[in-house]
């Protein structure tokens, strides 16, 4: 091979090497909305400086499942997803986690789901819930649906039919409930969901909007579920561990809150025992993990290095861009959850991040070989 041929081969080698290196330094982020895309584009501009050593691109998807598919096929590299979607990404698509959000800069726990009851209900137990009345923040919510129904499935108190009809199973199990949104066409297109899942709902001040999936239903959300128990319309409320304290600390509480006393309430533990409101770490139905960044397994290290550089530079908002603040874009929790204090490296698998209690809850929704998901489509 003559001198010119050697020069050509060597030049071609370095061109290919530079191109591969450039590809490895580029992260394509999957976003779901106009606001999130704008934040991503701003992030890309601010991370293009000489001192950052990385490049960000943004790609749009219809929903979290679309993001999973894009990451799987390589048209996207990363996206932040909530716990339920993390499980689906790992179990159904073979994806992993590069980084997880921490809201206390220590661990990756977001909150605990607890079962709340009145102390006067002396004969109530989480192991004997049949025919009891229940108060849920809403249909298909982690706190009000995924965790409590998963727990009842795992303790063999509830079983679903061959059509995997979870609302029917829940309606057959509880005496009556308030599950806001359970009769909405989005969740009940054929109008077959049990009516007793709305019987503990009270609607608005004019007796309208009963069982609505919004605050017009006064038993909607975690505060609404607490109110449902406080007003003796439910035996148990499924809420976050902080719900009672957050409700009691509002500036102008409603009359039902003023009448609420902490000593009148208790936690129901998974083993059938009881605990005080402050014992949520040992008495809860599940520890719900924080959101985390989903990637292909081979990209765990590459994406974390990129994000670690990003949080060192943009984590405090001092460089003209804030990684953990969505307020400039008129949205909430864009790319990352607002209020995230630190991104933690996820060393183990996605299931290690989810934790044993929450993983077990989600496994209860593997019905007929499928993971039953509720996916809302975001249109472009």
Our CA dihedral for 25, 30, 35, 37, rounded to 10 degrees, sits at: 40
Whether the per-residue pLDDT at 10 is higher than 70: the answer is: no
Q: Which carries the bigger pLDDT value, residue 320 or residue 226? A: 226
Tell me the pLDDT band of 20, cut-offs 50, 70 and 90.
very low
CATH architecture entry for 109-287: 3-Layer(aba) Sandwich (3.40)
Judge residue 256's burial from the number of C-beta atoms within 10 Å of its C-beta, 0-12 exposed, 13-18 middle, 19 or more buried.
middle
Asked whether 232 and 103 are in contact (CB, 8 A), the reply is no
Which tokens belong to 249?
């600390």
57, β-bridge pairs: 28
Judge residue 89's burial from the number of C-beta atoms within 10 Å of its C-beta, 0-12 exposed, 13-18 middle, 19 or more buried.
buried
pLDDT of residue 380: 35
CATH fourth-level superfamily of 22-105+291-371:
Periplasmic binding protein-like II (3.40.190.10)
pLDDT of residue 378: 38
Mean pLDDT of the residues in the chain: 88
pLDDT of residue 316: 77
Whether the per-residue pLDDT at 11 is higher than 50: the answer is: no
pLDDT of residue 365: 87
Confirm whether 22-105+291-371 and 109-287 share one CATH topology: yes
pLDDT of residue 265: 94
Q: Which carries the bigger pLDDT value, residue 27 or residue 317? A: 27
Spell out where 7-156 has E strands.
26-31, 55-60, 79-81, 96-102, 109-118, 133-135
User: In this predicted model, what pLDDT tens digit does every residue of 24-39 receive, in sequence order?
Assistant: 579 999 999 999 999 9
Whether the per-residue pLDDT at 225 is higher than 70: the answer is: yes
> Distance between CA 128 and CA 175 in Å, rounded?
13
pLDDT of residue 1: 56
Percentage with pLDDT > 70 across the chain: 89
User: In this predicted model, what pLDDT tens digit does every residue of 85-141 receive, in sequence order?
Assistant: 999 999 999 999 999 999 999 999 999 999 999 998 888 999 999 999 999 999 989
Q: Which carries the bigger pLDDT value, residue 74 or residue 374? A: 74
Q: Which carries the bigger pLDDT value, residue 370 or residue 330? A: 330
Tell me the pLDDT band of 368, cut-offs 50, 70 and 90.
low
User: What average pLDDT does this structure show over 278-300?
Assistant: 96
Distance in Å from the first CA to the final CA of the chain: 55
> Distance between CA 16 and CA 8 in Å, rounded?
12
pLDDT of residue 280: 96
Tell me the pLDDT band of 248, cut-offs 50, 70 and 90.
confident
pLDDT of residue 5: 52
Asked whether 181 and 160 are in contact (CB, 8 A), the reply is no
pLDDT of residue 138: 96
> Distance between CA 198 and CA 139 in Å, rounded?
11
- Which residues, at least 6 apart from 271, have a Cβ–Cβ distance to it below 8 Å? 126, 127
pLDDT of residue 282: 96
User: What average pLDDT does this structure show over 341-369?
Assistant: 90
User: In this predicted model, what pLDDT tens digit does every residue of 145-201 receive, in sequence order?
Assistant: 999 999 999 999 999 988 889 999 999 999 999 999 999 999 999 999 999 999 999
pLDDT of residue 47: 84
pLDDT of residue 207: 87
Q: Where are the domains of the chain?
A: 22-105+291-371, 109-287
Asked whether 99 and 343 are in contact (CB, 8 A), the reply is yes
99, β-bridge pairs: 293, 345
């Amino acid at each position: 091979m003559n001198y010119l041929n050697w020069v050509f081969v060597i030049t071609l080698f370095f061109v290919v090497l530079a191109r591969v290196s450039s590809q490895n330094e580029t992260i394509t982020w999957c976003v779901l909305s106009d606001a999130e895309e704008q934040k991503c584009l701003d992030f890309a501009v601010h991370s293009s400086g000489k001192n950052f050593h990385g490049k960000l691109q943004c790609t749009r998807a219809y929903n979290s499942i679309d993001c999973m598919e894009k990451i799987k096929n390589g048209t996207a590299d990363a996206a932040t997803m909530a716990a339920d979607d993390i499980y689906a990404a790992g179990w159904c698509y073979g994806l992993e986690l590069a980084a997880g959000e921490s809201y206390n800069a220590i661990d990756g726990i977001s909150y605990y789901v607890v079962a709340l009851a009145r102390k006067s209900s002396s004969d109530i137990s989480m192991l004997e819930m049949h025919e009891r009345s229940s108060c849920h923040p809403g249909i298909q919510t982690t706190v009000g649906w995924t965790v409590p129904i998963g727990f009842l499935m795992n303790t063999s108190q509830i079983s679903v039919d061959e059509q995997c009809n979870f609302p029917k199973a829940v309606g057959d199990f509880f005496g009556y409930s308030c599950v806001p949104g359970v009769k909405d066409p989005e969740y009940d297109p054929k109008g077959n969901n049990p009516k007793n899942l709305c019987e503990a709902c009270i609607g608005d001040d004019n007796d309208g909007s009963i069982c609505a999936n919004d605050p017009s239903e006064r038993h909607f959300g975690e505060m609404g579920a607490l109110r449902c128990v406080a007003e003796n319309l439910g035996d148990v409320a499924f809420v976050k561990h902080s719900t009672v304290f957050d409700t009691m600390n509002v500036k102008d509480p409603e009359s039902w809150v003023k009448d609420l006393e902490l000593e009148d309430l208790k936690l129901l533990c998974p083993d059938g025992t009881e605990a005080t409101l402050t014992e949520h770490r040992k008495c809860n139905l599940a520890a719900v993990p924080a959101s985390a960044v989903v990637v292909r397994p081979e990209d765990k290290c590459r994406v974390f290095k990129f994000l670690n550089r990003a949080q060192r530079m943009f984590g405090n908002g001092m460089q003209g861009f804030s990684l953990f603040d969505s307020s400039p874009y008129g949205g909430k929790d864009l790319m990352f959850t607002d209020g995230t204090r630190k991104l933690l490296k996820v060393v183990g698998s996605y299931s290690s991040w989810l934790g044993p209690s929450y993983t077990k809850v989600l496994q209860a929704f593997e019905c007929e070989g499928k993971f039953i998901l509720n996916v809302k489509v975001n249109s472009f």
